[in-house]
Structures are given as C-alpha cells and as structure tokens.
C-alpha cells in the first residue's frame, strides 16, 4: 500500500484535523500573549547582570546550612507540628466533607426516582449544601489562616482550622463526583426498595468507590503537608512559621536547613502516600 490515496493523491498519513489544531494554537497564543503582558511576565529580567548579582549574593547566605544541635531540635519539633497540623486538618475536613458530599450527590437523591412531597425542600437543602461547598473551597487556606490568626492568635490552631475549612470544600466536591461517576445501579435499587440514603451509600456506592475515595483523601493529606508550611508564614505554626522567623532575622543558614527538612518531609509524605495507595489496590 502506498502512502498516497488513489482518489485524492493526498497522503494517508496526513492529519485531517491539522488545520483545526493549528488554528487552535494560534488563537491560544493570541489570548495568552495579552495575559502575559497584563501579568507583567518578564522572565528575561532574571538574566540581567545586576539581578544575577543580587540573586548570587542572596544564595550565598544559605550556605552552609545551620546544623547546631539546639536548632535541629527546634526544627524537629516544628516538623512534627507540621505533620500534626496537616493530619488534624484533613481529619476535620473529612468529618465535614462526608455528609456534605452525600447531600450534594444526585446518585443518593430520592428525587431521581420520582418527586415526592418534600421535593422542593430536598432541592433547597442540596442547593444550600452546594453553596456552602463553594464558599469553603473558594477561599484559599492561606486567607483563612490569616483571618483565623487574628481570632486565635499565633499557633497551630489557625493552621488546622484553615486546612479543615478549605479542604472540606475540596473533598466534598470530589467525593460527590466520585460517587456520581461510580456504578449507581445498586444504590438506585436500594432507594427504589425503600432504603434510606445512608444505607444506599454504605451498601450500594461505597463498596465500588472506596478505593478511589481513599486514594484521593490520601493525596489531599499529602497536599495538606505542603499547605501547612505555607499557612505557617502568617503565624499558623509549623515549619512555615519557623522559616518566616529565620528569614526576618536574615539567617540564611537556618532557612537552608528548614528547606532541606521540608524537602525531606515532602518526600516522606509522598512515599507514605504511595505505600498506602499500593495497599488499597
């Protein structure tokens, strides 16, 4: 077989949608360019001689890392506090996300079988739950941490609540989507036979979606470890707060040590996440 069509003489290996893809790329570039200009994205400034000199002088301050025994014990305590903030925050988020996700999920709705006398009331409850979910996940955890530090003062309490609030919205949204994308026939059969929503979830949806739900929850815990460091910059405890203090004192060696520990902490969280996911498969 020759690579050319007998009828049209065009190569059989040519992309029939090449013109569409080329147009899409051109349109994307035309849209992206003014966005970059608006954001004042100018990466070439990094290679300016004066800027390179400033960056070099800044990086020199990070070496050597501070390995004083007393400081390492402080870093160890902040590391444990960071893990505690992330774990407690995700645990609280799950307690909020599970009922919220069940309310939002249409696969557990009685109205899917047929509108009843309380159809409008159920629709109002679902709408309110969805609005609450949007509010919870629509505000970043760093903003919540900044507000909660004003209420509870400096410390891990603000970090735990900030992660719990934001991640509860994220988890509830994804939980409901996972429940919707799974096999809904068993839950629908249970609802038709008069079962309640909780029983339909436990015996109809949970067995087929448990692995995916657990996998995403573990991934969110891994993200919470990183987020707990970020919230620390506004005084919410953990490694972030310690790093902020070291940077304010212009102690590059301490910052370097904290960065190394944080990198190792992220690797540990990623490894633990991978091990747990393998156990779920």
pLDDT of residue 267: 84
Query: Cis before residue 64, ω within 30 degrees of 0?
Result: yes
3-state secondary structure of 195: coil
- Domain residue ranges of the chain, discontinuous segments joined by +: 69-280
Residue 215 pLDDT > 70: yes
Query: Would you place residue 280 in the very low, low, confident or very high pLDDT band (cuts 50, 70, 90)?
Result: low
Identify the residue with better confidence: 153 or 199.
153
| Summary mean pLDDT of the chain | 79
3-state secondary structure of 4: strand
Residues 69-280: name the CATH superfamily.
Answer: MetI-like (1.10.3720.10)
Query: Would you place residue 11 in the very low, low, confident or very high pLDDT band (cuts 50, 70, 90)?
Result: low
Where residue 140 falls (left for φ over 0; alpha for ψ -120 to 50; beta otherwise) is beta
Residue 162 near residue 142, CB atoms below 8 Å: yes
Query: Tens of pLDDT along 164-210?
Result: 999 998 898 888 888 887 676 777 777 777 767 777 777 777 777 77
Q: Is 0.85 topped by the overall pTM?
A: no
Cα–Cα distance for residue pair 102/39, rounded to 1 Å:
40
């Amino acid at each position: 077989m020759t690579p050319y069509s007998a009828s049209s003489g065009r190569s059989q290996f040519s992309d029939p949608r090449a013109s569409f893809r080329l147009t899409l790329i051109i349109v994307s570039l035309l849209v992206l360019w003014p966005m970059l200009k608006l954001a004042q994205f100018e990466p070439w400034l990094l290679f300016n001689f004066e800027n390179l000199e400033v960056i070099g002088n800044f990086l020199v301050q990070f070496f050597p890392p501070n390995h004083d025994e007393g400081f390492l014990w402080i870093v160890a305590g902040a590391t444990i506090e960071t893990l505690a903030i992330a774990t407690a925050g995700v645990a609280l988020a799950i307690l909020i996300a599970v009922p919220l996700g069940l309310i939002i999920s249409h696969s557990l709705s009685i109205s899917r079988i047929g509108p009843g006398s309380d159809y409008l009331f159920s629709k109002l409850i679902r709408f309110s739950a969805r609005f609450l979910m949007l509010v919870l996940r629509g505000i970043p955890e760093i903003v919540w941490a900044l507000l909660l530090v004003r209420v509870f003062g400096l410390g891990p309490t603000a970090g735990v609540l900030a992660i719990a609030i934001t991640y509860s919205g994220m988890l509830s949204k994804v939980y409901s989507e996972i429940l919707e994308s799974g096999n809904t026939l068993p839950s629908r059969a249970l609802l038709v036979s008069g079962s309640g929503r909780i029983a339909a979830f436990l015996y109809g949806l949970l067995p087929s979606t448990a692995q995916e739900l657990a996998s995403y929850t573990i991934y969110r815990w891994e993200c919470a470890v990183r987020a707990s460091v970020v919230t620390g910059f506004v005084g919410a405890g953990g490694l972030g707060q310690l790093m902020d203090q070291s940077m304010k004192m212009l102690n590059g060696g301490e910052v370097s040590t904290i960065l190394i520990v944080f990198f190792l902490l992220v690797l540990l969280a990623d490894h633990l996440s991978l091990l747990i996911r393998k156990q779920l498969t």
